């Protein structure tokens, strides 16, 4: 390998490792890779969660006691949780808005508020589970409770992961001021909110 080519390749690899690719420059020619990559991730997650929801719909159609069992779920707590998630979505979109406006103090404040919404949701959900278990409803009680615990449990884990991600991004942007990190954290939050919009009526309202 010639010396010139070697130097050139070393330069390229250093650039790649150093993450010199400017996301803003790429914004002018197309969507930045960080955003496209995150949407690929969200697409995968959507398929997993919607497939679970679809399989529960089949059980709902074939299991005759689904409706009467669903009346034992707690509508008040779940409505409060819906309010918390929607409020979190507003906080997340405001964090994104202020990050892109370079108002980092406000952006970080709203990131923290979104994270608190996530923790409040997980706290309420844990309390709700404790009430249901206290009343003798376990995952092996019947198909309704099996799907209920599986789907709401997976969703709850996603909300908790979202809260951890938001905290991580809150720390990360203090120095880096990376608006794409804020954007992706907000996108993740909206995704968990969006899934809940279908879980809520499925197990609590119908």
Partner 1 sequence: MQAEHQDHLSVAFYVKIYVLLLILTGASVASSFLLRDVVSASVVVGLILVLSTVKALLIALFYMHLRYEKIPVRVWAYSAIVIFIILFILVLPDGIVNLKR
The interface region with partner 1, picked from 1-9, 111-119, 152-160, 197-205 by CB under 8 A, is 197-205
Q: Give yes or no for residue 35 binding partner 1 (CB under 8 A).
A: yes
Measured over the CA atoms of residue 77, residue 82, residue 87 and residue 89, the dihedral's sign is: positive
Q: Give yes or no for residue 206 binding partner 1 (CB under 8 A).
A: yes
Q: Give yes or no for residue 79 binding partner 1 (CB under 8 A).
A: yes
Torsion on CA atoms 150, 152, 153, 157, rounded to nearest 10 = 140
Q: Give yes or no for residue 62 binding partner 1 (CB under 8 A).
A: yes
| Closer CB to partner 1, 9 or 75, in the complex | 75
Identify the residue among 27, 123, 126, 168 touching partner 1 (CB under 8 A). 27
**Selection from 126, 111, 203 nearest residue 163 by Cα:** 111
Identify the residue among 9, 16, 21, 50 touching partner 1 (CB under 8 A). 50
Least Cβ distance, residue 151 to partner 1 (angstroms): 15
Contact (Cβ atoms closer than 8 angstroms) between residue 33 and residue 23: yes
Q: Give yes or no for residue 201 binding partner 1 (CB under 8 A).
A: yes
The interface region with partner 1, picked from 56-64, 120-128, 149-157, 161-169 by CB under 8 A, is 56-64
∠ at Cα 194 (41, 144), nearest 5°?
Answer: 105
| Closer CB to partner 1, 131 or 205, in the complex | 205
From CA 190, how far away is CA 197, in angstroms rounded?
Answer: 11
Q: From the CB of residue 177, how many other CB atoms can be counted at a distance below 10 Å?
A: 14
SS3 178: coil
Q: From the CB of residue 174, how many other CB atoms can be counted at a distance below 10 Å?
A: 10
User: Phi/psi of residue 35, each to 5°?
Assistant: -75, -45
| Closer CB to partner 1, 87 or 141, in the complex | 87
Residue ranges binding partner 1 (CB under 8 A): 27, 30-31, 35-36, 39-40, 42-44, 46-47, 50-51, 54, 57-58, 61-62, 67, 75, 79, 82-83, 86-87, 89-90, 92-94, 97, 100-101, 186-187, 190-191, 193-194, 197-198, 200-201, 205-206
């Amino acid at each position: 390998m010639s010396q010139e080519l070697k130097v050139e390749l070393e330069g390229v690899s250093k650039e790649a490792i150093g993450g010199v690719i400017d996301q803003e420059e790429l914004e002018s020619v197309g969507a930045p890779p960080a955003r496209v990559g995150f949407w690929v991730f969200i697409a995968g997650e959507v398929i997993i969660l919607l497939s679970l929801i679809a399989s529960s719909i089949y059980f709902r159609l074939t299991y005759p006691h689904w409706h009467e069992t669903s009346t034992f779920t707690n509508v008040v707590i779940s409505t409060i949780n819906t309010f918390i998630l929607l409020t979190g979505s507003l906080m997340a979109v405001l964090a994104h808005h202020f990050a892109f406006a370079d108002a980092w103090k406000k952006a970080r404040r709203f990131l923290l508020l979104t994270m608190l919404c996530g923790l409040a949701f997980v706290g309420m959900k844990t309390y709700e589970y404790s009430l249901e278990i206290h009343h003798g409803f376990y995952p092996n009680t019947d198909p309704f409770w099996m799907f209920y615990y599986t789907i709401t449990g997976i969703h709850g884990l996603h909300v908790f992961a979202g809260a951890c991600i938001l905290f991580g991004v809150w720390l990360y942007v203090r120095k880096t001021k990376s608006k794409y990190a804020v954007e992706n954290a907000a996108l993740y939050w909206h995704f968990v909110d969006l899934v809940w919009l279908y879980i809520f009526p499925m197990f609590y309202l119908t």
